Amino acid sequence: MYVEINDHLLENLNQWAVQHNFSLQESLETAVQYFLYKNEIENTKEKTPLKPRIAGLGQGSIKTTEDFDQPLPDSFWLGEQ
pLDDT in tens, 31-57: 778 777 777 766 666 666 778 889 989
Distance CA 75, CA 24 (A): 44
Q: Output the pLDDT for position 42.
A: 67
Q: Output the pLDDT for position 3.
A: 59
Q: Three-state SS across the chain?
A: CCCCCCHHHHHHHHHHHHHCCCCHHHHHHHHHHHHHHHHHHHHHHHHCCCCCCCCCCCCCCCCCCCCCCCCCCHHHHHCCC
Distance CA 15, CA 27 (A): 10
Q: What is the tens place of the pLDDT at every residue in 51-74?
A: 888 998 988 898 889 999 999 999
Q: Which residue has the higher pLDDT, 7 or 66?
A: 66
pTM score of the predicted model: 0.32
